[in-house]
């Protein structure tokens, strides 16, 4: 197994006090702005930009996109972020249970820095220095390839993640201490990670990329970036960026996080008429079936391939995300755009007689097609997420404790082989 890449070289910040007080500002209004330039024409491992202390000229490459004109206005330190409980959550997506992270939210400053840092990390040159924090990019070339393989333009990626509009807070039902965010267009999902989880992701990255090359229609979540963030001399925070499985979200009616077990797998649904839609769990799914028709055989084969791969990585506790979208009558049956599809892969158009070893399928003509599977009456969003929990000593001890604590019941902490087999069996039992 490949070893993790060495620690990242960070995107530096000017430490002077007169600038530190600006918090996560993007440097608007400086009388003599510094210019950051890329020291290599392509993303380099462990870093993208290096800050120079004097004026420098841009490299030969053209500028990808100018800094946001709103960066100086929107990326500002919140004076009320110390209020703790005095959050002001503005519900901008009432049907989805998403809340705009406004200036009064305790996570506002963190997300402002994430936006400003990601804006800089995807540019060739920038006219404004980042102030008061450092952002590092890990395994940059690998993730650049993954974005390219999805046909994702860097300008679109930057526009979704950079300053301009605040991130949305995702009200997850997970018991982890991670924070979850969505880009304002809900296209990208951001999650904070522990250092050991990041090490595991980077160690598995070469095999992850190889699996996606072999099986381009895999259900594995598409990781698009791994970054570190340090404020002043504080402790580093790590976060990942991935393509959201639940996109586009406008017509999704139900969402589930499935692990194939029963302990702690129930969520109290939102009251009837409530605008908030929660991500439910296994026990909430009882009595439901995923009707796929001819697509079922493809799904079972892909689940077999993907869970076997995760078993080989010695990981567990991943989830199968499932969402429902009821198709309108004019979207069903022969002649609809959802049935008469073109055969294509993430790299481009493919012939329909491609070798079956890669388990390709006909992708729908829709955004996020890799995570969409259409049945006769429902559109389903499916994806495997949370791929960084290794079955080490701590998890083995947790398994022994839960065996005594929950005799005769199923729980998430089991060996990777058993976990993979059980999740596959859940899909087999709940599809037709």
Among the residue ranges 353-357, 358-362, 408-412, the one predicted with the least confidence is: 353-357
- Give the residue, 277 or 59, on which the prediction is more confident: 277
> Whose structure tokens read 């979850």?
180
Please name which of 340, 330, 323, 331 lies closest in space to residue 385, comparing C-alpha atoms: 323
Q: What is the dihedral of CA 361, 366, 371, 373, to 10 degrees?
A: -60
- Give the residue, 58 or 140, on which the prediction is more confident: 140
| pLDDT score recorded for residue 135 | 87
- pLDDT of residue 231 exceeding 60, the answer is yes
Among the residue ranges 146-150, 178-182, 357-361, 377-381, the one predicted with the least confidence is: 357-361
Section 210-214 average pLDDT: 96
Rounded-to-integer distance, Cα 158 and Cα 365, Å: 24
E-state strands within 69-221: 90-93, 98-100, 125-126, 133-138, 168-170, 180-182, 188-193
Using pLDDT thresholds of 50, 70 and 90, give the confidence band for residue 66. Answer: very low
Section 248-259 average pLDDT: 93
- pLDDT of residue 97 exceeding 50, the answer is yes
State the chain's mean pLDDT as an integer.
76
| pLDDT score recorded for residue 173 | 67
- pLDDT of residue 425 exceeding 60, the answer is yes
| pLDDT score recorded for residue 39 | 31
Rounded-to-integer distance, Cα 99 and Cα 189, Å: 14
Do the bridges between strand 10-11 and strand 133-138 make them parallel or antiparallel, or are there none, so unpaired? antiparallel
Which secondary structure element, helix H or strand E, spans residue 303, and what is its range? helix 296-312
Number of H helices, E strands in the chain: 9, 19
- pLDDT of residue 86 exceeding 60, the answer is no
- pLDDT of residue 75 exceeding 60, the answer is no
* pLDDT tens per residue across span 290-309: 999 999 999 999 999 999 99
- pLDDT of residue 257 exceeding 80, the answer is yes
Which secondary structure element, helix H or strand E, spans residue 279, and what is its range? strand 279-281
- pLDDT of residue 175 exceeding 80, the answer is no
Report whether 348 contacts 149 (CB < 8 A). Answer: no
Q: Which two tokens stand for residue 81?
A: 């972020």
- pLDDT of residue 5 exceeding 60, the answer is no
Angle between helices 296-312 and 416-429 (to 10 degrees): 170
Please name which of 299, 309, 319 lies closest in space to residue 372, comparing C-alpha atoms: 299
Long-range pairs of 36-40 with CB within 8 A, sequence gap ≥ 24: 36/11, 36/120, 36/125, 36/126, 36/129, 37/124, 37/125, 38/124, 38/125
DSSP 62-113: PPSSPPPTTHHHHS---TTGGGTT----EEEETTTTEEE--TTSTTHHHHHH
Section 376-382 average pLDDT: 95
User: What's the residue count for the chain?
Assistant: 432
| pLDDT score recorded for residue 402 | 97
Among the residue ranges 84-88, 318-322, 415-419, 421-425, the one predicted with the least confidence is: 84-88
Rounded-to-integer distance, Cα 255 and Cα 287, Å: 15
Using pLDDT thresholds of 50, 70 and 90, give the confidence band for residue 123. Answer: low
Using pLDDT thresholds of 50, 70 and 90, give the confidence band for residue 47. Answer: very low
């Amino acid at each position: 197994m490949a070893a993790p890449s060495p620690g990242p070289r960070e995107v530096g910040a000017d430490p002077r006090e007169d600038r530190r007080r600006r918090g996560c500002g993007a440097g608007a209004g400086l009388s003599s702005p510094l210019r950051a330039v890329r020291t290599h024409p392509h993303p380099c491992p462990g870093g993208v930009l290096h800050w120079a202390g004097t004026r420098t000229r841009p490299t030969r490459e053209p500028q990808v996109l100018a800094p946001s004109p709103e960066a100086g206005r929107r990326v500002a330190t919140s004076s009320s972020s110390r209020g703790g409980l005095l959050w002001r959550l503005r519900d901008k997506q009432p049907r989805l249970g998403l809340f705009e992270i406004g200036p009064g939210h305790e996570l506002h400053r963190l997300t402002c820095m994430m936006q400003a840092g990601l804006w800089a990390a995807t540019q060739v040159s920038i006219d404004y220095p980042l102030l008061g924090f450092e952002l590092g990019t890990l395994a940059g070339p690998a993730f650049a390839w993954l974005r390219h393989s999805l046909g994702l333009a860097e300008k679109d990626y930057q526009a979704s993640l950079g300053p301009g509009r605040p991130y949305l807070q995702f009200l997850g039902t997970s018991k982890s201490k991670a924070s979850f965010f969505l880009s304002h267009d809900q296209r990208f999902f951001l999650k904070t990670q522990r250092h050991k989880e990041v090490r595991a992701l980077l160690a598995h990255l070469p095999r992850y990329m190889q699996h996606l090359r072999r099986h381009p229609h895999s259900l594995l979540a598409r990781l698009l970036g791994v970054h570190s963030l340090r404020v002043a001399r504080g402790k580093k925070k790590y976060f990942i960026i991935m393509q959201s499985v639940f996109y586009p979200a406008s017509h999704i009616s139900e969402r589930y996080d499935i692990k194939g077990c029963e302990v702690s797998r129930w969520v109290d649904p939102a009251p009837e008429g409530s605008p908030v839609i929660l991500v439910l769990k296994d026990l909430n799914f009882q009595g439901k079936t995923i009707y796929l028709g001819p697509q079922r055989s493809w799904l079972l084969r892909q689940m077999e391939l993907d869970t076997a791969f995760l078993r080989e990585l010695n990981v567990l506790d991943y989830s199968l995300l499932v969402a429902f979208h009821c198709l309108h009558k004019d979207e069903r049956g022969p002649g609809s755009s959802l049935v008469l599809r073109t055969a294509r892969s993430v790299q481009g158009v493919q012939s329909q007689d491609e070798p079956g070893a890669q388990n390709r399928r006909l992708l729908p003509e829709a955004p996020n097609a890799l995570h969409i599977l259409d049945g006769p009456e429902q559109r389903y969003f499916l994806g495997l997420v949370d791929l960084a929990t290794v079955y080490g000593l701590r998890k083995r001890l947790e398994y022994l404790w839960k065996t005594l604590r929950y005799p005769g019941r199923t729980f998430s902490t089991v060996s990777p082989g058993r976990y993979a087999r059980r999740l596959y069996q859940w899909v087999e039992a709940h599809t037709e």
